[in-house]
Structure 1
């Protein structure tokens, strides 16, 4: 009868020509294996067990399978918020945080990263709705697609997912680049009427924006030092968005523009009576 142990079982069996061998039987991950050893080499059972013990250690190590759980989207999103978001512009941080909290976590929190498929992502984005219950605009849906693609890219970068083609490239959202509201263009008479109806410094702000084609975030942080009244130019150096003052993002944004003599005169007249504005107001004095 075989002696059975956690390290397998050993029994003595007869072979051809009267030879006797020790038969060692053991399992690795459910599969039975067998090895034999000559009794002449190991006369007593204690001798064969002493030999088998060294082999059993390796066999037991082979049976120990350390299985780590597959990373989930929750793990990925938390890591994205702690490691990636701080490196982005405040406007992007605010948008991504809101998108993750309102839309991503409720739908994808428990889903394994490897189980995120393009078809499911596209169907999910198409039905996204805002707090008012209305469907999100195409541009907002485009931001959701961008964020999901960025998450999967980061998952590969952080080795939470094997490097492969990002499946979110297959997701298509219609109308992302289509403007939802028509642009209203005021005629010169309408601009002049608007300027005349406003108080300083707001009338001057509108005058600057209309004359130079600037966005409001470029007008708000202007300083007197940005103007070269001798050469009639203005250099755009910074922008004010999402409650944050920052330098111009690109070389194209950091542009030097010509100003008319009429605009220059209006600015200099305002400068005579203006005080030092805070960083969030128009034309504050640079130190």
Structure 2
């Protein structure tokens, strides 16, 4: 393998490498790279390429632009991603990555390009640090795939730190506020969804997707096996992301009683709708047996909270309220973690550490211990 250095008319330097004959056409192949400021820079780059070729590590960078590559990348990821995640990937690529970086050759993408883009997304597009982190993750995933497939030498996203996501205070209700709201919400049609989030820690999609076959009245449990979530075209039922998401949860008596009343309510719906009833077997359905639209329910939730006069929280915060109240009652974090469907107890402890507040009990126990040690001296 041979290479040489040449000076160009504009005063910069280039290297040219003899790559041997093409295996199919038999024609001579050469690789040239220009734009080096000094001969020394060109010589160093040539030496590195020749060394990579000698070790079999050389990768010839793709000629695709960022737009061309990430369009192909989306097609590659389609069978690997859940529908909701794929929709997020498409949105981040088509509305943020391609408009800002699309015309840049992928091989010439630098850390500076990414840092500049993140700042523009923050200032010009008013995106949150969390959304910019999502952009970074998709960029990183695409570039890492290019490196693995040997169409790119390095992943420049690995050299860039996305904006730090600030910790936000979690909004939860205390036990008195929760009791007050549950009493207020009892006459509403979608009370069951609210109760499942508040007493079992279910996510919105999990509560909507809960089926009667997942309810065991004899054992007093429900098993979370699916979620109603966003797909490419509308909402779909799918299994939870992790094994921890499929879980069996013990029911309090208030929820068991509400489930029994819910069955009676659905029997009335079936009778009233007659042949128009399209039963999906869900614990919570529309009057005609269809899955509840999450966006419609979210609007009803906000209206209920406003009318109740209680502090405004998101529906998802009922799940946080459930975990916080259990931890305040000294339920073991492992048990809370399992009810919530967290992949590890560490997530539970990190997310709800504020629940414990100032641990005066720990200080008192230390006093008792040290007092005992002092007496024994």
Q: How does the TM-score come out when normalised to structure 2?
A: 0.53
Greater shift after overlay, 84-93 or 144-153?
84-93
Q: Residues 121 and 127 of structure 2 are in contact (CA less than 8 Å); yes or no, is this contact kept in structure 1?
A: yes
Q: Residue 93 of structure 1: CA displacement?
A: 1.3
Q: Residues 192 and 284 of structure 2 are in contact (CA less than 8 Å); yes or no, is this contact kept in structure 1?
A: no
Residue in 2 that maps onto 1:250:
242
Residue in 2 that maps onto 1:149:
140
Secondary structure, counterpart of 1:197 in structure 2: helix
User: Which residue of 241, 258, 265 corresponds with 1:266?
Assistant: 258
Residue in 1 that maps onto 2:67:
74
CA distance in 2 between counterparts of 1:179 and 1:134 reads 21
CA spacing shift, 1:281–1:184, aligned 2, 3 Å: farther
CA spacing shift, 1:262–1:115, aligned 2, 3 Å: same
CA distance in 2 between counterparts of 1:258 and 1:281 reads 19
Residue in 1 that maps onto 2:80:
87
CA distance in 2 between counterparts of 1:207 and 1:62 reads 73
CA spacing shift, 1:63–1:206, aligned 2, 3 Å: closer
Secondary structure, counterpart of 1:252 in structure 2: helix
- Structure number with greater Rg is 1
Residue in 1 that maps onto 2:284:
283
User: Which residue of 188, 196, 201 corresponds with 2:183?
Assistant: 196
Q: Does 1:187 align with 2:154?
A: no
Q: Residue 282 of structure 1: CA displacement?
A: 4.5
Structural mapping, 1:7-18, within 5 Å = none
Secondary structure, counterpart of 2:213 in structure 1: helix
Could you list the runs of 5+ residues in structure 2 that have no partner in the other structure? 7-25, 33-59, 271-277, 290-377
Q: Residues 224 and 283 of structure 1 are in contact (CA less than 8 Å); yes or no, is this contact kept in structure 2?
A: no
CA distance in 1 between counterparts of 2:279 and 2:229 reads 15
Q: Residues 86 and 93 of structure 1 are in contact (CA less than 8 Å); yes or no, is this contact kept in structure 2?
A: no
Q: Residues 217 and 256 of structure 2 are in contact (CA less than 8 Å); yes or no, is this contact kept in structure 1?
A: yes
Q: Residue 189 of structure 1: CA displacement?
A: 2.8
CA spacing shift, 1:62–1:272, aligned 2, 3 Å: closer
Structural mapping, 1:1-287, within 5 Å = 70-129=63-122, 134-162=125-153, 164=154, 166-176=155-165, 178-180=166-168, 182-198=169-185, 199-242=187-230, 243-274=235-266, 275=269, 279=280, 282-283=283-284
Secondary structure, counterpart of 1:186 in structure 2: coil
Q: Which protein has the bigger helix share? A: 2
Alignment deviations for residues 78-111 of structure 1 (CA, whole Å, 9 cap, x no partner): 1112221342112211211111111111222221
Could you list the runs of 5+ residues in structure 1 that have no partner in the other structure? 1-28, 32-60
Q: Residue 255 of structure 1: CA displacement?
A: 0.7
Q: How does the TM-score come out when normalised to structure 1?
A: 0.68
Q: Residue 135 of structure 1: CA displacement?
A: 2.1
Alignment deviations for residues 136-195 of structure 1 (CA, whole Å, 9 cap, x no partner): 111101001101111112222343224x4x22112112323x344x32211223223323
Q: Residues 262 and 283 of structure 2 are in contact (CA less than 8 Å); yes or no, is this contact kept in structure 1?
A: no
CA distance in 1 between counterparts of 2:251 and 2:195 reads 11
Q: Residue 281 of structure 1: CA displacement?
A: 6.4
Alignment deviations for residues 32-68 of structure 1 (CA, whole Å, 9 cap, x no partner): xxxxxxxxxxxxxxxxxxxxxxxxxxxxx76676999
Q: Residues 196 and 203 of structure 1 are in contact (CA less than 8 Å); yes or no, is this contact kept in structure 2?
A: no
Secondary structure, counterpart of 2:171 in structure 1: coil
Q: Residues 220 and 280 of structure 1 are in contact (CA less than 8 Å); yes or no, is this contact kept in structure 2?
A: no
Q: Which has the higher contact order (CA 8 A, sep 6+)?
A: 2
